[in-house]
């Protein structure tokens, strides 16, 4: 059980870092870097050229204020992250879905940009 707790803690830190890096790329308008943090299914569905030019993917994501809780389902290699986002001068709760692909945590792009 102790090994599982250590693995979960490592995954939790990795997930937090991915989200912070994704939002940092968003704040700096680094669209290609943002795209790299999104899952393969989204990248297959939305090629990078569409992601870079379509207004659907330029919506305001807000400012990541806090990562409250990370819930990991290790057997399915998915995670749900409860966050607080500052959007238009209001704090809003948001759940960000993630999945592990080839050992790396990725953000579920379809849920992020729906």
Q: What is the CATH number of the domain that holds 49?
A: 3.10.450
- DSSP states of 20-78: HHHHHHHHTT-HHHHHHTB-HHHHHHS-HHHHHH-GGGGS---EEEEEEEEEEETTTTE
**What pLDDT sits at residue 1?**
47
**What pLDDT sits at residue 3?**
54
Q: Which domain holds residue 98?
A: 2-112
Please tell me the pTM assigned to this model.
0.90
| Low pLDDT (below 50) residues in the chain | 1
Number of domains making up the chain = 1
**What pLDDT sits at residue 7?**
63
**What pLDDT sits at residue 114?**
82
């Amino acid at each position: 059980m102790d090994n599982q707790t250590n693995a979960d803690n490592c995954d939790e830190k990795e997930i937090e870092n991915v989200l912070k890096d994704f939002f940092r790329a968003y704040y700096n308008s680094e669209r290609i870097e943002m795209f790299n943090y999104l899952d393969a299914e989204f990248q297959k569905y939305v090629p990078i050229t569409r992601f870079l030019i379509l207004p659907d993917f330029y919506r305001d994501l807000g400012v990541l204020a806090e990562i409250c809780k990370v819930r990991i389902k290790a057997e399915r290699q998915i995670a749900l992250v409860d966050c607080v986002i500052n959007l238009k001068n209001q704090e809003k709760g948001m759940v960000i879905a993630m999945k592990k692909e080839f050992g790396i945590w990725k953000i579920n792009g379809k849920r992020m940009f729906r």
